[in-house]
Amino acid sequence: MIKQNNKTPPPASPLALEKEVSGEKRPHHKKFEQILERLFYAVDAANDSELARALDKTPQAIGAARDRDNVPSKWITTISERWGYSADWLLHGTGPMMREGQDIPVTRLAVETKGLKCEEPLQTYGRGVRLGSVDLVHIPKVKARLCAGSGSMETSDDIDGYYAFRSDWIHRKGQPGRMVLMDVTGDSMEPELRDGDTVLIDQSKTEILPGKVYAVGIEDAVMIKAVDVEPGQIILRSFNRDYREIAVKPGQMNGVRIVGRVVWSCREFG
């Protein structure tokens, strides 16, 4: 897992993009479908629902765009900022696919010499690109808090870089378009997870499997806990025996959300 270089020029302004995708220069149907295909590719979405989640929209918003034959400029800006794609490539399919500074090759040797202990050997080049015969996907690292109203992790204002994974490996873990990385805070999950460890969370996996580890939202905060189900309640458990388990009864569920399942973890020795 290697952090991408985030020193990139700003994406095209929403006003400039609006001129490209709406008004007098509104694209015809074929061009609209081509743009939409590139958006699907960029966020690794298989359907309208997955694209909508990546954009923090509803599936109805995608349907409305199809009806209007018009891609909102904000969607281009969002994907360019979050995933590092060139706005020109998203709109026209021309020029470099990634924004300048996003496609910096890092060898496996560099991973090993930085003292990173990960569960899988990784190479990185950038999201949605190919290094030799290897396809790679990169995932945003976010702050441990929820978006207001949506119940998903914050992925707009506080992205702390992007981290690359082999596409074949990460697709076996779940839905990359719904994944985020987050640092563990505190010692409640020791010895398995320590303060400062990084976990990969698949937000598409919210069904509770007893004993599995999840990101759990309580109000607007997110904590990592093992989750069990008992009659009439769910139990949030810490691996550290110094911490009590938390019983959540039906009347308390409004403030508690299962954000996603932890599918991988990584520890850095500095």
Q: What is the DSSP string of 209-231?
A: -TT-EEEEEETTEEEEEEEEEET
| Residue 108 pLDDT greater than 90, yes or no | no
Tell me the helices (H) and strands (E) count for the chain, helix number first.
8, 11
Domain ranges of the chain: 30-92, 136-266
Please report the pLDDT score of residue 76 as a whole number.
92
| Residue 103 pLDDT greater than 60, yes or no | no
Average pLDDT over residues 29-41: 84
Please report the pLDDT score of residue 228 as a whole number.
94
**Structure tokens, 209:** 């499997």
Average pLDDT over residues 27-49: 81
CATH domain 136-266 topology? Umud Fragment, subunit A (2.10.109)
Q: Is 5 exposed, middle or buried (0-12, 13-18, 19+ CB in 10 A)?
A: middle
pLDDT tens per residue, range 150-163: 445 554 456 777 78
Please report the pLDDT score of residue 109 as a whole number.
26
Cα distance between the two ends of the chain: 15
Residue of 15 and 182 predicted with greater confidence: 182
State the virtual CA torsion across 37, 168, 176, 214 in degrees, nearest 10.
160
The proportion of the chain whose per-residue pLDDT surpasses 90, expressed as a percent, equals 26
What pTM was computed for the model?
0.54
For residue 206, the 8-state DSSP code is: -
**Taking each helix axis from N to C terminus, what angle separates 14-21 and 73-83, rounded to the nearest 10 degrees?**
130
Residue where the block lists tokens 């966020």: 43
Say yes or no: do domains 30-92 and 136-266 share a fold: no
Please report the pLDDT score of residue 150 as a whole number.
45
Give the separation between CA 73 and CA 12, rounded to whole angstroms: 10
Please report the pLDDT score of residue 227 as a whole number.
95
DSSP letters for 17-71: HHHHHSGGG---HHHHHHHHHHHHHHHT-SSHHHHHHHTT--HHHHHHHHHHT--
Diameter over CA atoms, the chain = 65
Residue 137 has phi, psi (to 5 degrees) of -130, 140
Q: Which residues contact 173 (CB under 8 A, 6 or more apart)?
A: 179, 200, 202, 263, 264
The proportion of the chain whose per-residue pLDDT surpasses 70, expressed as a percent, equals 71
CATH for 30-92 (1.10.1220, 1.10.260, 1.10.8, 1.20.120): 1.10.260
Residue of 41 and 30 predicted with greater confidence: 41
pLDDT bracket for residue 240 (50, 70, 90): very high
pLDDT tens per residue, range 60-97: 999 999 888 889 999 999 988 888 888 888 988 887 77
Sequence letter at residue 97: M
pLDDT bracket for residue 13 (50, 70, 90): very low
| Residue 177 pLDDT greater than 70, yes or no | yes
**Structure tokens, 21:** 């995708």
pLDDT tens per residue, range 190-215: 999 999 899 999 999 999 998 999 99
Give the separation between CA 173 and CA 125, rounded to whole angstroms: 20
Residue of 15 and 184 predicted with greater confidence: 184
Please report the pLDDT score of residue 270 as a whole number.
63
Residue of 44 and 105 predicted with greater confidence: 44
| Residue 44 pLDDT greater than 90, yes or no | no
- Residue 162's H or E segment, with its range, is strand 162-166
What value does the mean pLDDT of the chain take? Answer: 75
Please report the pLDDT score of residue 238 as a whole number.
93
| Residue 131 pLDDT greater than 60, yes or no | no
